[in-house]
Amino acid sequence: MEVITFVGFEFSTRPDGLPALQEFYDFEVDEASLMTGAPGASLLGLENRQCDVAMAFGTDAIIAKYSWHVYIDDQLFWPPYDLTPYVSQNTLDEYPEIEGILNELVATFPGGGELATPEIVAQGQAVWQTLNAKVDIDMIEPEDVAYDYLVEQGLITE
C-alpha cells in the first residue's frame, strides 16, 4: 500500500527531522511517495487530499477544524515544545506576584506544570488547536480568545 507523505523541505533533510524519525521508529517513506514543500504546504496537501500523511505542528488550528488525528510520539522522540513563561529574576524581584499568576495560568493546561507525558502533550496540543482555531478559523481577535480563556478558567472575572 502506498502512503503519500508530505513534509516541509527542511524537515525532509534535517538530522533531527524525517531521517532521524524514520530510524527511531523503524519505518521508511519511499522516496516516490514523499512530497516536500514550503512550511504549511503539507497541511494544504492534506486538506486538498493530495497526501495521506502530513507534517504538522500539534497546535495547528486546521487539525481542530477537520478533526484530524495526530499521532502521539509515545516513545518521546522529540521533547515537548510547550510554551513556558520566562521572567527575569530582576522582574520577579520587583513584582513577586507575577510568579503566582503565571503558575496559576500554567495550571489551567493539561498536566498543570507536571512532567510531560505523551498523553499530557497530546491533551495540551488539543487545547492549543482549539484556541488557535478560534483565531485562525473563526477570526476572533487573539486578545478576545485569551480573555475568554482566562474567564473560563476562573483566573479573571468579566
Burial of 42 (C-beta count, 10 Å sphere; 0-12/13-18/19+) = buried
What's the pLDDT band for 82 if we cut at 50, 70, 90? low
Domain 1-55 indexed as CATH 3.40.190.120 = yes
Q: Measure the CA–CA gap between 42 and 139, rounded to whole angstroms.
A: 22
**pLDDT reading at 79 higher than 80:** no
Determine the pLDDT at residue 88: 95
- List, for residues 113-156, the tens digit of each pLDDT value: 788 888 888 888 899 999 999 999 999 999 999 999 999 999 99
What are the boundaries of each domain within the chain?
Answer: 1-55, 74-158
